Structure 1
Amino acid sequence: MNSTDAGRRRPRVVVVGTGFAGYHCLRVLERRLPDADLVAVNPADYMLYVPLLPEVAGGALDPRHVAVPLRTKLPRTRTVLGSVTGIDLTDKTITAVDVEGRRKVLDWDRLVIASGSVTRLLSIPGVAKYAKGFKSIAESIYLRDHVLRQLELAEQSDDPAERGARTTFVVVGAGYTGTELVAQGKELTRHAGQDARWVLIDMAKRVLPNLSERLSGPARQILEKRGIEIRLETSVSEVTRTCARLTDGTEIPTRTVAWCVGVRPDPLVEPLNLPTTKGRLNTDRFLSVPDHPDVFAAGDVAAVPDLTRPGEITPMTAQHAQRQGRVAGINVAASLGVGRRRRYKHHDLGFVVDLGGWEAVANPLHVPLSGVPAKIVARAYHLLAMPANRLRVAFDWVADLLTRRLVVHFGLVPEEGISLAEADGPAKPQDRADGFAGSKAG
């Protein structure tokens, strides 16, 4: 600690991660603690609106429009660009390393751990080396460029087998992200003038297994009507450079396997030796870490009691991360003598799943909708939920309806930079974003 730090009198609140939870926590803290020293530690200078990443990969949205700039939206917060490598609960410090490898130690009076989640890999041969991740802007841009590149390479080939493999795209995981990605991918290749083969694979018995059959059924019908193949109750047993082998013994020649199986909590909390549930840091109903009243946790990394379902913890969704972030901000301020603390309790008000074109499924207030009404609800929800760039996103949507998508690739993101093999270790800079698992309305 330097002399400047030793002489400061203002309480310092450090928030690790600026995903849904961290960002909304800081928004509250800026209003409630005007005299506090607010510090956000994150590898990027933006909050990523993850639910719209499939539309970025599909070419419907400009990547910049799903990135909420911290500099303008959090003017009182000092952003430290770096990845947290250690937390010392005794000395009340964190250690971060920036993109140039420089080490920095920050002390804190209150700490909010909201570092989110990282891609979950299974012990399947070839996945880490050959499958494509889908959790960041870089990965979504890479995947879009990769798909378009495969279409062009297929046109240049004289080998029918190679052309078939290059125009076959496999998406593993039929949850929110995988379902939206395969729908947007099909739209992208349609706009490119190619009748590409898209295959959606999952071990579950139905598409969108976390939703009721009143929504998963129509979603599957929409996908199959577009020619998307759905392979359920099966999974991938091996991925190679030229094919995906399934557990039912079949083999799909392909050069593209998108991995959307799910996420796991940021491993940053593992060395803390604190109680966890499914790898998530245990908290009480006020989002405080037991026996550490100065430490709070929210979002995907936190196992928050679900007061609407006694005995369970809240799921890892953007809906919960956003609201937990706000409550964490309120309770941090209360711990410093401003306001009263609040317990976290939220009833799900529904889901939205955008399926491209004029199609979607949704259940606002648990009323099942599909088609155009669901599409309107889905887009209205995202516009309300986005902290910024609403007008830009709306313009992109209007342009997508009235014009053909721009099917060009620039090759700006190298494959080495988004390797899934890296995702199974420490979190990559772009991976710290809460709420990736699903676009829940409410």
Structure 2
Amino acid sequence: MNTVTRPKVLVVGAGFAGVECVRRLERKLGPDEADVTLVTPYSYQLYLPLLPQVASGVLTPQSIAVSLRRSKKYRTRILPGAAVGVDLKAKVCVVRTITDKLVNEPYDYIVLAPGSVTRTFDIPGLLDHAFGMKTLAEAAYIRDHVITQLDLSDASDDPAEKAARLQFVVVGGGYAGTETTACLQRLTHAAVQRYPRLDPGLIKWHLIDIAPRLMPELGEKLGRSAQEILRRRGVDVSLGVSIDKAGAQEVTFTDGRVVPTHTLIWTAGVAASPLIGTLGAETVRGRLAVTAEMTVPGHDGVFALGDAAAVPDLAKDEKGAICPPTAQHSMRQGKKVADNVIATLRGEPLMPYVHKDLGLVVDLGGRDAVSKPLGIELRGLPAQAVARGYHWSALRTNVAKTRVMTNWLLNAVAGDDFVRTGFQARRPARLKDFEHSDSYLTPEQVRAQVEGGAGKTGKG
């Protein structure tokens, strides 16, 4: 009977926000106060900022996939699937399980932390021919793909094909695009030494962005420093430029240039999870509108945070400012939401979220980095020490910290390896194949599923 009467807290998403929320709920909630369920397709938390280093082979995939089941005190029920719709009136979340079944999961309180997906535009051929850099599978796949291009170029007797396979295009001058370009350029530069038939001069990386400068959040000086580092390495940085159309063997830029290539990596920003569109609630710049306490106005027991929520940034004087979609905000929002969920359960007042940004770090591989901790501009080795120190300290478990540090040390001593691991299949997989953004329901489909889903309700 106690199991039946305990309130059900449902947390959607196992990113920085969702995991921090669940961990705090476990620490601070009494065992009889509530049942906690976490909806996630994978039983790990992905440390997203280090994905470019997985793509370049500096880190192994499992080193940044932090298991959610390592703690012996872990009492949260994990529902393996993705939330594809929420009926706020009925208080039911519709989950598509990893076996592709739709399950109705009732709740008393819901924490929406579904994160974000890669932001795309209506560009001909983009979804069919571009890779993303948002998931662990994509990073591993891209590594195999890039090494495959070297292998195929080396084996080809066609000069045009040989050159085309050694040109790589990355779209997006933010952190993900800049770090991905920097890390993969280092990989190909090191790898080509093992291909005596290839001319290193044929390898060309292009980084393009529609913005006037790289990573504007870093400030003009550090952004320019990052750009100079990339250009010194031979990367062609083009600003004020985007993609006009994408094909299987070439990409056309908006300035008219046509680049023969088999590799287009798209990192031009993120958009809130399509789950937000199923709620029928107010949004701000595509993200769910919430109060400073991260509650959804007009809906009791509904909290939202992270990349999918427009959390007011009270630390800024700017009117209407919302928190940027960064890991440091998501982690701290997760803890504050957990406190507010507990306060709601206990009838206590809620507290607003306030956090002053601690700064930004950009790891460009090797000894190159630019960082701005607490407003202090750093370059080179000091910036690299800060960048890696920040990422290392932010990893949640000692096991993950040990794996990452071991990988870094091994790479520093032994250098890169250039082994294709087998993820590169005969059938190409592109951006549209990894994030499954077409699996979400419409609001009408959610209502139909909830009303007709008798017998498919998840167990508490």
TM-score after normalising by structure 1? 0.92
Of 296-305 and 72-81, deviating more is 72-81
Asked if 1:393 is matched to 2:404, the reply is yes
Asked if 1:364 is matched to 2:360, the reply is no
1:380 to 371, 389, 403: 389
Q: CA deviation at 1:103?
A: 2.5
Q: Which runs of structure 2 are paired with 1:237-386 in the superposition (5 Å)? A: 237-309=244-316, 310-337=319-346, 341-386=350-395
Query: In structure 1, what is the equivalent of residue 457 of structure 2?
Result: none
1:200 to 184, 203, 207: 207
Tell me how large the CA RMSD over aligned residues is. 1.8
Please give the secondary structure, in 1, of the residue aligned with 2:301: strand
Q: CA deviation at 1:95?
A: 1.5
User: Structure 1 regions of 5+ residues with no counterpart?
Assistant: 429-442
CA contact (8 A) 1:17 1:40 kept: yes
Asked if 1:124 is matched to 2:120, the reply is no
Query: In structure 2, what is the equivalent of residue 156 of structure 1?
Result: 155
Q: CA deviation at 1:232?
A: 1.0
Write the letter of the residue equivalent to 2:10: V
State the alpha-carbon separation in 2 of the partners of residues 69 and 162 from structure 1.
42
Provide Cα deviations, 1:192-228, integer angstroms capped at 9, x if missing partner. Answer: 1253211101111112123201210111111111111
Q: CA deviation at 1:159?
A: 1.4
Query: In structure 2, what is the equivalent of residue 32 of structure 1?
Result: 28
State the alpha-carbon separation in 2 of the partners of residues 136 and 319 from structure 1.
19
State the alpha-carbon separation in 2 of the partners of residues 210 and 341 from structure 1.
31
CA contact (8 A) 1:330 1:339 kept: no
Provide Cα deviations, 1:236-280, integer angstroms capped at 9, x if missing partner. Answer: 101111111111111111110000111100111212111111111
Change in Cα spacing, 1:86 to 1:28, as seen in structure 2 (3 Å) is same
Write the letter of the residue equivalent to 2:270: V
Query: In structure 1, what is the equivalent of residue 452 of structure 2?
Result: none
Provide Cα deviations, 1:356-376, integer angstroms capped at 9, x if missing partner. Answer: 011100011100001000000
Q: CA deviation at 1:323?
A: 1.1
User: Structure 2 regions of 5+ residues with no counterpart?
Assistant: 194-199, 441-460
Write the letter of the residue equivalent to 2:386: V
State the alpha-carbon separation in 2 of the partners of residues 43 and 339 from structure 1.
33
Please give the secondary structure, in 2, of the residue aligned with 1:190: helix
Please give the secondary structure, in 2, of the residue aligned with 1:335: helix
CA contact (8 A) 2:84 2:439 kept: no
CA contact (8 A) 2:11 2:39 kept: yes
State the alpha-carbon separation in 1 of the partners of residues 429 and 288 from structure 2.
27
| Corresponding pairs, count | 424
Percentage of pairs with the same residue: 43
State the alpha-carbon separation in 2 of the partners of residues 270 and 297 from structure 1.
13
TM-score after normalising by structure 2? 0.89
